[in-house]
Amino acid sequence: MSRFHVVSGKGGTGKTTVAAALALALASEGRRTLLVEVEGRQGIAQLFETEALPYEERKIAVAPGGGEVHALAIDPEFALLDYLHMFYKLGSAGRALKKLGAIDFATTIAPGLQDVLLTGKACEAVRRKGRDGRFVYDYVVMDAPPTGRITRFLNVNDEMAGLARTGPIHHQAQAVMGVLKSPQTAVHLVTLLEEMPVQETADGIAELRAEDLPVGGVVINMVRPPVLDLAAVEIAANGRRTAIAKALSGAGLGGARRGGLAERLVDPLLEQAREHAERVALEHAQRAQLAQSGLPNYELELLSDGVDLAGLYRLAADLRKQWPE
């Protein structure tokens, strides 16, 4: 089973919420999960209703069964200082470079350097073991960049390994790609049952597969509950006024005679029902397109009151029921 779960998705699909719910779900039954943020938005802190995350691993939640969720907001500047210390032993010298602004300058102008640092730090957490020889974290979940740039983000170390033929940079890049392209990793894409997010998800899956990056599954987020069964949707789609008027009459909303209350309610109800039928048809078509990928699909309901901490635990419980062991 994969230990490194990378969560991406088109903006607005709720990928940060899904990443947080997945971290909670995986941490159940006494496991330890690290939830990593790489975009500097502090979205994880907001979801867990805690203070802004520093550049250190901190416990932010307890999962059902006693598991723990820790979180880390990776800062590229501090990650570069770690890198300089790890491979070049530039402890105090690295801090001096930061004071001079050299670290910020380097992470700003060097193409892809930030992504190298971000993925490298996350993969270090995946590989890290304690004194007992066991992994420090059972799972690492990354709230990754959007679908449009996820392949480039994950594949940047391949490019770096090609540029630096030897030395610590080359070996570090190879080690990172060894994690990212192994069964340890699974890239999950979050989508809504709407045309643009579904198409971007399909494109993202194709791009990831073209680079031999392991795709895990598709999380369909904010799924609205069905209002009508299939028979009722068919009636609405075909505008069967008589059947609707009789149903209203049978429900005690006046007789079905012409001009009665039931008759007057038919047109506004039909309009709403047609809109619902169109949405159901669109969602059915989007599900069919997602099924073509051959990937497992997981569904999370739309929380009408928004996602607070209680709602996040609810989504985690739903995800846990669907997730493979």
Backbone φ and ψ of 221, nearest 5°? -100, 160
**pLDDT score at 289:** 96
Top pLDDT among 139 and 171 is at 139
Residue-level pLDDT at 211 = 95
pTM of the model: 0.84
pLDDT band at 86 (very low <50, low <70, confident <90, very high): low
In 3-state terms, what secondary structure has residue 186? strand
Q: Where are the domains of the chain?
A: 4-224+302-322, 230-278
| Structure confidence by residue, pLDDT tens digits, 120-151 | 899 999 999 999 999 999 999 999 999 999 99
> What percent of the residues of the chain are helix, what percent strand, and what percent coil, each to the nearest 5?
55, 15, 30
State how far the Cα of 212 lies from the Cα of 18, in Å rounded to an integer.
Answer: 24
Give strand ranges (E) for the chain. Answer: 4-9, 32-37, 58-62, 68-73, 139-143, 185-191, 215-223, 297-301
Gap between the Cα atoms of 218 and 296, Å rounded: 6
The β-bridge partners of 7 are: 143, 188
Do residues 160 and 169 touch, judged by C-beta distance below 8 A? Answer: yes
Of the two residues 266 and 100, the one the predictor is more confident about is 266
Which whole number is the average pLDDT over 212-240? 78
**pLDDT tens digits, 14-29:** 999 999 999 999 999 8
Picking from 191, 186, 190, the residue whose alpha carbon sits closest to that of residue 213 is 186
| Per-residue CA distances from 302 to 38, 102, 228, 259 (Å) | 26, 46, 17, 38
Lowest-confidence segment of 26-35, 225-234, 292-301 by average pLDDT: 225-234
Structure-token pair, residue 22? 């997945």
Which CATH fold would you assign to the domain 4-224+302-322? Rossmann fold (3.40.50)
Strand-pair partners of 68: 32, 62
The span from the CA of 118 to the CA of 107, in Å, is: 11
Measure CA of the first residue to CA of the last residue in the chain; give whole Å. 8
Q: Are 74 and 120 in contact (CB under 8 A)?
A: no
Count CB neighbours of 49 within 10 A: 11
